[in-house]
Amino acid sequence: MFDQLVERSDAVWIYSTGRFAEERRAFLCDLNERGYGFRTLRNINKFLLVIAERVNVRQRMPITERQIVGAARDWAAKTCSPSCTDESRDTVTKRFIFVAKKWFRFLGKWSDPARNPQFKPELDSFLKELREERGYTDHTISTRESELNLFFEWLGHLGISLKEMSPQILAAYFIQNKARGWKKTTVKAYGNSLRAFFRYAARRGWCAPGLAETIQSPRIYSDAGLPEGPSWEQVQRLIANLNTERPSHIRDRAIILLLAVYGLRISEACGLTLDDVDWANEKLRLRRLKNKRIQEFPLTAEVGNAILKYLQNVRPRSSSRFLFLTLRKPHRPMRGRNASSTVSRHVGALGPLPHYGPHSLRHACASHLLDEGFSIKEIGDHLGHRSPRSTQIYAKVDRAKLAQVATAKLSSLTEYLRTQAQPITADWAKERLRSLQEVSHFGLGGLQ
């Protein structure tokens, strides 16, 4: 294995005869079988040798965090030059620790310590209900877990159990974090997670009943802010900037077009499969995560060409049916968190914006449809909103729409309510095909 990763013959001898060569070779072979790329294996191979020289992987007792961190800092101090910045030294230290733990975990010498072990059974039980009984998305469950773990860490430092919880302790948690700079929206988000958990905990008898009702969230007025996203001109520039032959740009351009044209959530884009693109009928099938409905959209030329280019030139060969895969080995379906970071990086290159996340492109899509003269009902259907209230915020930025609201006759209320109750069916795409095709071209001017 070493002769494949090292070019010089004298270097091959060093790696082959170095400390714990058998353990290093076994780990590299395992990574190779799992599909890791050649460049990644070469970098890991270099780290393994310096790790082996500083940590005894054959010791009887499990390797401790202190051993790993101490070895990493010692190596960084001897390797980095005096002119090396603290940031660079910190980067190589973290890389040493990352590879070391991965290797020790493979050898059975390391296991990640459980976070907040005293509350882990209760938290796991709560997250299981969210996933299996309520059908929450992975992103929502991950957010709930992160917010609750922060609370449990604080609770663990105080040495307080769930049975000892009181409204005063809950209030102290929010007061302390509010003093540290939490905004109203942050307090509300954490309050929602704690309220949901303590309702569940009360049903299971883990805490006193009624605790959830004592968690008061700050009042945030409905639609108090404006939709925050790039303008349509900025979206056009973003798509034009990604019109290159770089593999990552080809894939990311297809994802960004889906977000901008159809207003998808990033998790919905990552959830698309090869079967969801109906090339024969030029349709795109989408599973809405929040209302659990299936919608069909006309597959526009821009989006279809972008997906086809990705499939023909970039997408790795894989048995996975998910449309978008990671480009580095091992190739796996793209997850919402990774895709979100990628899209945010591209949007951030446009310049100063209130928000850079993928949801900002959903806002840009809605605002563009409004400018094109679509009604709030039509925009809500396009975005997959369950209620028209979710879409009404976009009317605030359009004076013409506000004028329509001001002059609306009450006699139309019955008809309005009747249309809101109509379910979205597959025929919806056929009825709106011509209008949606006209809007979805959005004046790219041949940037296909």
- What tokens were used for 334? 């793209």
Region 291-310 average pLDDT: 85
The pLDDT value given to residue 254: 93
**CB 441, CB 300: distance < 8 Å:** yes
Q: Catalytic site residue 394?
A: yes
Give the active site residue among 24, 265, 283, 363. Answer: 265
Q: For residue 100, what pLDDT is reported? A: 92
pLDDT of residue 8: 77
The question of whether 66 is a catalytic residue gets the answer: no
Q: What's the pLDDT score for residue 386?
A: 58
Q: What is the pLDDT of residue 164?
A: 92
Band of pLDDT at residue 163, cut at 50, 70 and 90: very high
pLDDT, position 292:
64
> Which pLDDT value is given to residue 96?
92
Model confidence at 442: pLDDT above 80: no
pLDDT of residue 220: 60
Query: Rounded mean pLDDT of the chain?
Result: 79
First to last CA, the chain: 45
In the predicted structure, residue 393 carries a pLDDT above the cut 70: no
Q: What is the pLDDT of residue 221?
A: 53
At residue 409, the pLDDT reads 45
Q: Please tell me which residue in 190, 310, 356, 394 is annotated as part of the active site.
A: 394
CA atoms within 13 A on the CB side of 446: 0
- pLDDT of residue 253 exceeding 90: yes
> Residue 400 pLDDT more than 60?
no
CATH code of 232-440, in short, is 1.10.443.10
Q: Which of 290, 293, 377, 432 is catalytic?
A: 290
φ, ψ for residue 93 (rounded to 5)?
-65, -45
Mark whether 15 is an active-site residue.
Answer: no
Question: For residue 74, what are the contacts with CB-CB under 8 A and spacing of at least 6?
Answer: 54
Fold for domain 117-214? DNA polymerase; domain 1 (1.10.150)
Active site includes 54?
no
Binning pLDDT at 50, 70 and 90, where does residue 447 land? very low
Average pLDDT over residues 325-332: 82
Percent of the chain having pLDDT more than 70? 80
Banded model confidence at residue 406, pLDDT cuts 50, 70, 90:
very low
pLDDT on residue 268: 86
- Per-residue pLDDT at 423 exceeds 70: no
* 329 noted as active-site residue: no
The domain locations on the chain are: 2-107, 117-214, 232-440
- Is residue 362 among the annotated active site residues? yes
Better-predicted residue by pLDDT, 53 or 220: 53
Report residue 439's pLDDT band, with 50, 70 and 90 as the boundaries: very low
Residue of higher predicted confidence among 442 and 44: 44
Residue 88 predicted with pLDDT over 50 = yes
For 103, counting Cβ atoms within 10 Å of its Cβ (0-12 exposed, 13-18 middle, 19+ buried), the class is buried
Q: Given 362, 363, 368, 382, which residue is catalytic?
A: 362
Q: With cut-offs at 50, 70 and 90, classify the pLDDT of residue 196.
A: very high
Residue tagged active-site, from 24, 109, 315, 359: 359
**CA pair distance 73, 440, nearest whole angstrom:** 54
